[in-house]
Amino acid sequence: MASLSLSTSTPTAAGSTTPQTYSSSFTTTISPLLFLSKTSKKCALKSLKHKVLSCNAENSSSLNNLDRRNVLLGLGGLAGAVNLTSSSVPSVLAAPLAAPDISKCGTSPLSGFKPGGTTPTGGDCCPPDSTQIMDFKFPTNQAFKVRPAAHLLSPKYIAKFNEAIKRMKELPEDDPRNFLQQAHIHCAYCNGAYTQSSSGFPDIEIQIHNSWLFFPFHRWYLYFYERIMGSLIDDPTFALPFWNWDTPAGMTIPKYFNDPKSALFDSKRNQANLKAVVDLGYNGKDSGTSDIEKVKNNLAIMYRQMVTNATDPTAFFGGEYRAGVEPITGGGSVEQSPHTPVHRWVGDPRETNGENLGNFYSAGRDTLFYCHHSNVDRMWSLWKMLGGKHTDITDPDWLNASFVFYDENKNLVRVYVKDCLLTNQLGYDYQRVDVPWLKSKPVPRAPRSGIAKKLVGKVKKTDDVTFPVKLDKIVKVLVPRPKKSRSKKEKQEKEELLIIQGITYDSEKYVKFDVYVNDEDDDEASAPDQTEFAGSFAQLPHKHKGKTSSKTNFRAGLTELLEELEADDDDSVLVTVVPRSGSEDITIDAIKIIYA
């Protein structure tokens, strides 16, 4: 543990950064950013001065020339893919998901949950309706905010945070800024309350998880939530803290959340975890490992999900989600883990459905949700700094997807994904703190070259397996590689990917399984800090009208992993799928390797 460098700095004073004015001109033009070395240097110097992650220069050509595993985060700008200004008119040829008609919000979307616990399962989670919708415009002369690490807050900042939440809870129940009404927003978007009626598909529900909409939806959600808090305490510089669970010093719930007298307190949390080190690979019960092992595993999981399994936009953001379809292509690497396991780790096991944070419909009722997602949003900023293919999606159907939220003045505002790509343009940034997981690449348990050849006749090949396969036990299969011994250029152009396709699961359960590559040990699977651990599939409980099952996909990067295992020349790889929670009803349609 002594080798880990922990930050002891205090947050940059809110409001100390010079306020900025942003253009509100409207255009549908998409143009590449121009990256100049002189601009990059000015960007780096400004970041150092203000101790934040980014500055006005939102990219740097020098970052793109660095190995993503060695780049020093916090010294350059965000790697923006395109330079976009606001537009309220999507392309006529596109099919972006349109903001829902909230007047048609469904009632009682929670009634299908099994009774039990102390949280009522009936009622609805529809926010107040409005007959007027405003299109978003970037505020002029807005105060610039720096979101601080939650474990480094001063007593004064904690008091301000507490007061903002207290005032939200004291607002009238029908006020859209009310604490519970804000929680309803998350519930409605992910539990069957909204349909794609605005897109012309009234019979298809909207689900903002498990797709490329996960990151932009939550960024906008926090943006307006933060503005509401600042407005209620008359402090436009107030910034929402981020729960810094990706560094050892921040891997416990900040103690001020556990004060019963505080507005930040929530009684529906796992009582065994209030002072414990978070488990970013949580399986639904205590792993029994020491705190030191948890920290090692957590850092390795962060590396795996932010580097190995997030090599391109699809891997990081998740699969496409367009109007007229359901999000079945699969969530991004960070959404799968650590995002989902952290939700469940905090949620209360005394509640049948894991309320509050452990379930989509109730997650927004815990103030810790917003700090958790503030750090998830920070991952988007960090990821774009890694260079290469770590850029925003350029598909018009992603850029023109829209949502609606209430602002600090109770106006219903329509927003577009294209307008949230640059945090500086939205008027906020993140405090610069240590990122130790960049140096926490998993190490092999042992070299695994030739393992597939050794297991021929002992383990079935995919061609000999009858799919779909039920995951009520450990599944082992030899998966052929379409091409082996690829050149360096081939690897740079296309990532080798392990795909688990057609995962059907019970959406009303917390489900999780782990995936291993070339791990021969039948008695004990490799730990997350070992190379053989390829990643996890995890889903929180959520409700759909008329059905209890959902279908999606999982993917993991193999290029770096196979190099580390010295298995780059092998014809096949051994894939082991280990059920962890709620997996007895999971079925898998196919397991294969592709290049993309």
Measured CA distances, 572 to 118, 459, 530 (Å): 50, 12, 20
Over residues 99-105, the mean pLDDT reads: 94
What angle separates helix 214-232 from helix 179-190, to the nearest 10 degrees? 170
Residue 149 per-residue DSSP state: B
CB 42 within 8 A of CB 73: no
CB 97 within 8 A of CB 206: yes
Q: What tokens were used for 288?
A: 């029994």
Task: Tell which wins on pLDDT, 247 or 388.
Answer: 247
Question: How many angstroms separate the CA atoms of 273 and 509, rounded?
Answer: 21
Q: What is the pLDDT of residue 448?
A: 66
- Residue-wise pLDDT for 300-353, tens only, equals 999 999 999 999 999 999 999 999 998 888 999 999 999 999 999 999 999 988
Q: Is the pLDDT of residue 430 over 80?
A: yes
Q: Is the pLDDT of residue 441 over 80?
A: yes
Helix (H) or strand (E) holding 217: helix 214-232
Over residues 472-477, the mean pLDDT reads: 96
Which of 50, 218, 372, 390 is labelled catalytic?
A: 218
Of 66-80, 104-118, 465-479, which range is least confident? 66-80
Q: What is the pLDDT of residue 449?
A: 66
Residues 6+ apart with CB under 8 A from 576: 474, 475, 476, 515, 516, 517, 519, 525
218 annotated to bind ligand: yes
CB 195 within 8 A of CB 546: no
What is 24-43 written as a DSSP string? Answer: -------BPPP--HHHHHHH
Residues 6+ apart with CB under 8 A from 203: 195
- Residue-wise pLDDT for 499-541, tens only, equals 999 999 999 999 999 999 999 776 788 999 999 999 999 999 9
Q: Is 184 a catalytic residue?
A: no
Q: Is 369 a catalytic residue?
A: no
Distance of CA 330 to the CA centre of its chain: 12
151 annotated to bind ligand: no
Question: How many angstroms separate the CA atoms of 495 and 312, rounded?
Answer: 9
Burial class (CB in 10 A: 0-12, 13-18, 19+), 15: middle
- The C-alpha torsion from 120 through 126 and 129 to 135, rounded to 10°, is 150
Residue 388 per-residue DSSP state: T
- Residue-wise pLDDT for 28-58, tens only, equals 222 222 222 334 334 433 443 344 454 433 3
What is 454-472 written as a DSSP string? Answer: HHBTTB-BGGGS-SSEE-S
Q: Is 339 a catalytic residue?
A: yes
Share of the chain above pLDDT 90, in %: 72
Q: What is the pLDDT of residue 522?
A: 66
What angle separates helix 155-170 from helix 179-190, to the nearest 10 degrees? 80
Q: What is the pLDDT of residue 247?
A: 98
- Angle, vertex CA 241, rays to CA 240 and CA 247, nearest 5: 150
> Pairing state of beta strands 511-517 and 587-588?
unpaired
Question: How many angstroms separate the CA atoms of 357 and 168, rounded?
Answer: 19
CB 157 within 8 A of CB 104: no
Task: Please report, in angstroms and rounded to a whole number, the separation of the first and last CA atoms in the chain.
Answer: 37
pLDDT band at residue 107 under the 50/70/90 scheme: low
Over residues 211-235, the mean pLDDT reads: 98
Task: Collect contacts of 120-125 with beta carbons under 8 A, ≥24 apart.
Answer: 121/353, 124/193, 125/183, 125/184, 125/187, 125/188, 125/191, 125/193, 125/361
User: Half-sphere exposure (CA, 13 Å, Cβ side) for 539?
Assistant: 29
Q: What tokens were used for 274?
A: 């209030």
Q: Is 50 a catalytic residue?
A: no
What angle separates helix 155-170 from helix 214-232, to the nearest 10 degrees? 90
The residue length of the chain stands at 596
Over residues 175-189, the mean pLDDT reads: 96
Q: What tokens were used for 391?
A: 């850029």
Q: What is the pLDDT of residue 445?
A: 87
Question: How many angstroms separate the CA atoms of 568 and 572, rounded?
Answer: 10
Neighbours of 411 (CB within 10 A): 15
Question: How many angstroms separate the CA atoms of 410 and 232, rounded?
Answer: 12
Residues 6+ apart with CB under 8 A from 496: 481, 486, 557, 558, 559, 562, 593, 594, 595
Measured CA distances, 510 to 63, 505, 543, 580 (Å): 39, 10, 12, 10
User: Half-sphere exposure (CA, 13 Å, Cβ side) for 215?
Assistant: 34
84 closest CA partner among 404, 398, 405 = 398
Which of 35, 215, 238, 360 is labelled catalytic?
A: 360
- Residue-wise pLDDT for 128-147, tens only, equals 988 899 999 999 888 999 99
Which of 50, 339, 390, 544 is labelled catalytic?
A: 339
pLDDT band at residue 239 under the 50/70/90 scheme: very high
Which of 151, 184, 343, 542 is labelled catalytic?
A: 343
Specify which residues 205 forms β-bridges with: 195
User: DSSP 3-state helix, strand, coil percentages of the chain (rounded to 5)?
Assistant: 30, 15, 55
535 closest CA partner among 364, 324, 296, 338 = 338
339 annotated to bind ligand: yes
- Residue-wise pLDDT for 342-379, tens only, equals 999 999 999 988 999 999 999 999 999 999 999 999 99
Q: Where are the alpha helices (DSSP H) in 80-178?
A: 155-170
pLDDT band at residue 571 under the 50/70/90 scheme: very high
Q: Is 373 a catalytic residue?
A: yes
